[in-house]
Structure 1
Amino acid sequence: MAIYDHMAEFHGLPISDCEDFLDGGPVDPASLPAPGAVAWRLRVDPFEESAGPPDVPEEWAGWGEWRKRFARFLDAVDPGGVRALVVGEWGEAYETDAGEPIEAIVEARGRLASLRAVFVGDIVMEEAEISWIQQGRVTDLLAAFPALEELGARGGSELRFEEVRHAGLRRLVVETGGMPAGAVRGVAGSEFPALAHLDLWLGTPNYGGDASVDDLAPILSGERLPALRHLALRNSEIQDAVCAAVASAPVVARLDSLDLSMGVLTDEGASALLTGQPLTHLRRLDLSHNYLSEEMRARLRETLEPAGVELTVDAGGAKGDERWRFVAVGE
């Protein structure tokens, strides 16, 4: 499985691309959507020379193309009304990290008074494989925007997530083919009193996913996540060990939904779930893309579905014998 399509919506808003009005001459604001009605996606194509604005301000000298485009965007719309930003390709993402777009957004924080959501790295396979995307220190966005409610990032290479305390964040998604242990520990060590939705793609050591179950312990205790209702720890090569830890994790008792999909899940991990704490309070449990026997799938259905749990337990594209077991999204 790979990511072939760009996001169509973000933060509950349809996404609007900016290329059409950023590559030409003067912009008529009346022709654009209301600033807060859409999530604005800014991207550059590193293999096409942008026409750009006819007159480049002197202060733009030395700026990268994404930063120039962002500056023009801020002049074209009312930035004070912008609620959501999506960072697409900022250059050759396998060679250049996301530092420039992150820095540009942070520097504009005084103009982005209504910003509530940022996604860094809406980049599909044809632009850069997920594990080749050079990320950055995404926690700079949390430090700059105390009212931010949603943060997303795609790509694990050079991903840095420091321990922070953020009172407003409600949704955090990190999509990787390999999430560095340091970044996992940063998330786990952070205090997010309002966070309701946490989704981590842990990945494989082949692409930098070197976290252990011990690194997840603060998340599984739930002590720093009192509002958490959805937990996803997925796309992991150590999915059996993750499931064994989840089976006795205090945080599970107050979840509405649990996602352990996309990983190398075998009967060992599923058995740990069935013999651990009850999961019948969950509304949804996603175990798709698994390497389970038909007997184990039947046991899961017989145990959970009569209690009203919406269970997804199909193989979901996982194939092969134990010599060829892979996470759903790797390279």
Structure 2
Amino acid sequence: MSYYYPSHLTAFHGLPVHGFPTEPDKAGRTSPPAPGSVAWRIGRAYEEDPFEVLWARFRDEVRAEEVTALVVGPWWIDYDEEGIGPVLDSIIADAHRFPALRAVFLADVESEESEISWIKQSEVTRLLRAFPRLTELGMRGAEGLVVEPLLHDGLRTLRVESGGLPRECVRGLSACAFPNLERMELWLGTGWYGGDCRREDIDALLAGLAHSPGLRHLGLQNSDIQNDIAAAVAAAPVVVRLDSLDLSMGALDDEGGEALLSGQPLTHLGSLNLNHHFMSESVVRRLRQSLEPHDVCLTLKPASLRNGQERYVAVSE
């Protein structure tokens, strides 16, 4: 089960999220915002048309050439049998009509619509190939997710929220070249829901990020191998360049805390997020003594653990 439930985005790419079609105001008027002033959310409700119909309306009714950010909500009618592939087909086919598009978030879906582990993704790197000037890509869910190696000069921010990110995807990201990447955040999840990556996969990812000299924020979160991730991070040269590091939401305990304490110095960080941890008070105290005098903003809210309960990640099913 999940102990944290992702909710619908209210802002994306620095813009407020606005649904399409535009809902009437209190006076019954529909006055759509300027196309580039919002992140447009396209997703069907139970009574609405199929996604491909909504997409065609959006493409034709909004000045597509001015749209800068797009959020994809639920695309299925009753049950998602095909995954997001057909949605990507529609967006990619119209790529030439969206020259200003810089940010896309795929599957802005709450648990009432679909559990995160049920969301079916696709080969998403073809979206990057279709939009070489895209600067931000986010997504929720990882079933069926495929990451093919590619070079993309535009991408600045990459975020993958999942209850289980397959190791093939992590390896695929390791083989990609994002020379201008500034922020990466991966929810790696648990083996119960497909999150089967291992220490060597994390090592490969960190080595690949050495080719992203502008990287300033790294999140490797929500993992049941959070101790191994902490040990990998404690030895990775890329960490020296970071302003912030997020190892929250996972099963981090004293083993991982000790790895951070005995590894390379982290005193250059502006912030280190270790929320949802299972470390003892003594290790937490030593982390505070090691980092807080250097003005590192350290967040250390522990996870609750009942008698006999095993460590768990914040988001799984």
Report TM bin, short chain.
over 0.9
Asked if 1:86 corresponds to 2:84, the answer is: no
3-state SS of 1:223 partner: helix
The one-letter code of the counterpart of 1:17 is G
Taking the aligned partners of 1:322 and 1:285, their CA distance within structure 2 comes to 29
Residue 136 of structure 1 corresponds to 122
Residue 16 of structure 2 corresponds to 14
Q: 1:111 aligns with which of 78, 85, 97?
A: 97
Residue 295 of structure 1 corresponds to 282
Taking the aligned partners of 1:263 and 1:213, their CA distance within structure 2 comes to 15
Asked if 1:179 corresponds to 2:165, the answer is: yes
Q: 1:72 aligns with which of 57, 66, 82?
A: 57
Asked if 1:34 corresponds to 2:34, the answer is: yes
CA RMSD of aligned residues (A): 1.7
Aligned residue pairs, count:
309
Taking the aligned partners of 2:21 and 2:131, their CA distance within structure 1 comes to 26
Q: 1:94–1:75: structure 2 CA closer, same or farther, 3 Å change rule?
A: closer
3-state SS of 1:182 partner: helix
The one-letter code of the counterpart of 2:68 is R
Residue 211 of structure 2 corresponds to 224
Taking the aligned partners of 1:203 and 1:254, their CA distance within structure 2 comes to 26
Deviation string 1:110-147 (CA, Å, 9 cap, x unpaired) is 10000000000100010011001111111111000000
Deviation string 1:151-181 (CA, Å, 9 cap, x unpaired) is 0010011111111110010000000000011
Taking the aligned partners of 1:270 and 1:160, their CA distance within structure 2 comes to 32
Residue 213 of structure 1 corresponds to 199
**Contact 2:83/2:122 (CA < 8 Å) preserved in 1?**
yes
Taking the aligned partners of 1:207 and 1:272, their CA distance within structure 2 comes to 26
Taking the aligned partners of 1:95 and 1:284, their CA distance within structure 2 comes to 41
Deviation at 1:20, TM superposition (A): 4.0
Residue 99 of structure 1 corresponds to 85
Higher relative contact order (CA 8 A, sep 6+): 2
Deviation string 1:204-230 (CA, Å, 9 cap, x unpaired) is 010000111211223322322211110
3-state SS of 2:96 partner: coil
Taking the aligned partners of 1:202 and 1:322, their CA distance within structure 2 comes to 25
The one-letter code of the counterpart of 1:41 is R
Residue 228 of structure 2 corresponds to 241
Identity %: 48
Which runs of 5 or more structure 2 residues have no equivalent in the other structure? Answer: none
3-state SS of 1:319 partner: coil
Taking the aligned partners of 2:179 and 2:188, their CA distance within structure 1 comes to 23
Deviation string 1:171-203 (CA, Å, 9 cap, x unpaired) is 000000000111111111110000000000000
The one-letter code of the counterpart of 1:211 is C
**Contact 2:119/2:142 (CA < 8 Å) preserved in 1?**
yes
TM-score (norm 1): 0.90
Deviation at 1:49, TM superposition (A): 3.2
Taking the aligned partners of 1:79 and 1:4, their CA distance within structure 2 comes to 29
Which runs of 5 or more structure 1 residues have no equivalent in the other structure? Answer: 23-27, 53-64
Q: 1:4–1:203: structure 2 CA closer, same or farther, 3 Å change rule?
A: closer
Residue 7 of structure 2 corresponds to 5
**Contact 2:117/2:163 (CA < 8 Å) preserved in 1?**
yes
